[in-house]
Amino acid sequence: MSDAKGLLQRPSHKLFDIGHAATLKIHAQRPGRKEMQVALSERLLDHECEMPPATQLRDGLSERATCISHRPGLTRLIPRVTALPPFQRLLDEHATDVMGVLRGAVGRVDAEDCFQETFLAALRAYPRLDDARNLRGWLLTIAHRKAIDHHRANGRRPVPVAEVAEVAVEDPGPADDGVWELVGALPPKQRAAVALRYACDLPHAEIAAALGCSPEAARRSLHEGMKRLRKELT
Amino acid sequence: MTAIDESLRRLAEHADSEGLLDVAYANVDSPYGTLLVATTPRGIVRLSLPNYDPEEALEELAEKVSPRVLEAPARLERARRELDLYFEGKLSEFDLPVDWRLTTGFRGRVQRAIARIPYGRTRTYTEMARSAGNERAVRAAGTACGSNPIPIVVPCHRVLRSGGGLGGYGGGLPMKEALLKMEGIL
């Protein structure tokens, strides 16, 4: 530990000469396993790796430490808190929920575009993601942002017209569509909270994480949204 | 196909056209069970045999190549076609680009030498060690065959013991035997 602290005070370019190869070797042998990450984190504490001081001091040494190598292709020696799973697994586990949230937030027709944008944005950022512990929350946060972008881009209420243009739409969907239409008419925060709660079964804490607000605020948005829905339905 | 499957198919297409599809994979049926075949934009990077856990293979790809791993069968159509023909005995040489990035050093040299063994012919582990530049590293050549990331396409089943024994095979000896029989070797 004291070694690591000492190292942190050295100029960063001197930090990877020693012990580096051994670390690399372990990494190459069996990456991605939790045990190994623990081993690596310990190695980081015991040995010689650079940690950007700001990161290092923010969340504690072992958790967020990132080790940067000068060698091309080996920019990240000390893994994230957990290894990033293949992106396909995120799709297998969360795509349906993300679609559910988006349908609640922007409606069936526009949900598809938001879905594509959400996952393309996620794919773009994925390799640089530091913390793989709450991938679901991360995806839902992106989805929420995309839904807000969508509303901003539309930026207006529907305008009544004499004749409605013919637009291709997907299958009519389940019988509770009427309710979701009302959900779609709620203000953005309430709409998102209701969708996250009832389309995805998220607990308040995760809704809060996805909306970027406190759990109390999430609870309040949900409550307000539900109150308004009840009023409109009775 | 459900609506979400259609959305996912479209996503793989978009990812591909935006250069975000670092590793595309597909499950391919074979007479021996399901193979997992993965490709990068450079070429086939991994083929895992039926007795290997596909999830594990995907995790390894996520670690060693890129975590942007997506199921995208469209990207593997050509590989699937060639594999089908090979298993029907109608194709003797794969014409697929290979991405060698999962192999390095001596093992890499052995595996590249394996790729040059013609259909229906065999080599010994000793010969492979020699073609990789170190005749005495027979055991290492054996390990190199065993760690071949792209079996079948890189035909490590064509490497046998000097005495004529079958040696080993990642997919199990019965599969090695069956492949050799199919190629008219046994």
Q: Which CATH class is domain B105-182?
A: mainly alpha
Q: Chain B: residue nearest A132 by CA?
A: B67
Residue A52 pLDDT > 70, yes or no?
no
Separation between Cα atoms, residue A74 and residue A84, nearest integer Å: 16
Contact criterion met (CB < 8 Å) for A85 and B59: yes
Give the domain range for residue A128: 87-233
Q: Tell me if A146 is assigned to some domain.
A: yes
Nearest chain A Cα distance for residue B26, angstroms: 11
Q: Which helix (H) or strand (E) holds A20?
A: helix A20-29
A39 — phi, psi (to 5°)?
A: -55, -45
* Pair A163, A215 in one domain: yes
- pLDDT at residue A154, as a whole number: 78
Q: What is the DSSP code (8-state) at residue B22?
A: S
Per-residue pLDDT tens over the stretch A110-162: 999 999 999 999 999 999 998 888 999 999 999 999 999 988 887 655 555 66
What is the three-class DSSP state of B36? strand
Q: What is the pLDDT of residues B95-125, one digit of tens each?
A: 999 999 999 999 999 999 999 999 999 999 9
Give the C-alpha separation, A94 to A106, whole Å.
18
Pair A40, A96 in one domain: no
Tell me which residue in B18, B66, B71 faces A88 most closely, judged by beta carbons.
B71
Show me where the domains of chain B are located: 3-87, 105-182
Find tokens 């990456």 and name the residue: A31
Catalytic entry in B24, B72, B156, B159: B156
In a domain, A58, yes or no: yes
Q: The pTM is what?
A: 0.67
Name which of B11, B20, B59 is nearest A32 (Cβ-Cβ): B59
What single string gives the DSSP state of each residue in B76-126? GHHHHHHHHHHHTT--SS----B--TT--HHHHHHHHHHTTSPTT--EEHH
The domain total for chain A is 2
The residue among A19 and A103 whose pLDDT is bigger is A103
Tokens for A138?
A: 């991360």
pLDDT at A151: 86
- Minimal C-alpha gap between A18 and chain B (Å): 23
pLDDT band at A167 (very low <50, low <70, confident <90, very high): low
Residue of A nearest to B72 (CA): A88
Q: Which of A23-32, B85-94, B173-182 has the lowest mean pLDDT?
A: A23-32
**B169-183: b or e for each residue (b if 16 or more CB lie within 10 Å)?**
bbbeeebbebbbebb
Question: Which chain A residue lies closest to B104 (C-alpha atoms)?
Answer: A28
A54 and A131 within one domain: no
B156 is catalytic: yes
Model pLDDT, residue A113: 95
Specify the residue for token string 């979701």.
Answer: A180
Both A104 and A137 in one domain: the answer is: yes
- Does residue A58 share a domain with residue A93? no
Q: What is the pLDDT of residues A66-118, one digit of tens each?
A: 333 334 444 444 445 678 999 999 999 999 999 999 999 999 989 999 999 99
Residues A43 and A153 in one domain: no
Do A35 and A94 fall within a single domain? no
Compute the nearest-CA separation of B3 from chain A (Å).
Answer: 9
Specify if A176 maps to a domain: yes
Q: Which fold has domain B3-87?
A: Double Stranded RNA Binding Domain (3.30.160)
Domains B3-87 and B105-182 share a fold: no
A163/A216 same-domain check = yes
C-alpha dihedral over B66, B67, B73, B79, to 10 degrees?
A: 30
Q: What percent of chain A has pLDDT over 90?
A: 29
